[in-house]
Amino acid sequence: MEPVTNQMLNARREESCVGVTTERKYFRVGQTWIKRSLRPSEWQINPFAGTLVVPRFGLERILNEAAAMQFIAEKTNIPIPKLYACF
Residues 35 and 75 in one domain: no
What is the span of the domain harbouring residue 78? 57-87
Tens digits of per-residue pLDDT, 18-61? 888 888 888 998 888 888 888 888 888 887 888 888 888 777 88
Please determine, for residue 79, whether its predicted confidence score (pLDDT) is greater than 90.
yes
Residues 28 and 15 in one domain: yes
Residues 48 and 16 in one domain: yes
Please, which pLDDT band fits residue 73 given cuts at 50, 70 and 90?
A: very high
Specify the pLDDT at position 68. Answer: 94
Specify the pLDDT at position 41. Answer: 85
Give the per-residue SS3 of the chain.
Answer: CCCECHHHHHHCCCCCEEEECCCEEEEEECCEEEEEECCHHHCEECCCCCCEECCCCHHHHHHHHHHHHHHHHHHCCCCCCCCCCCC
Cα(43)–Cα(24) distance, rounded to whole angstroms? 10
Specify the pLDDT at position 67. Answer: 93
Residues 24 and 7 in one domain: yes
Amino acid (one-letter) located at 79 = P
Residues 10 and 50 in one domain: yes
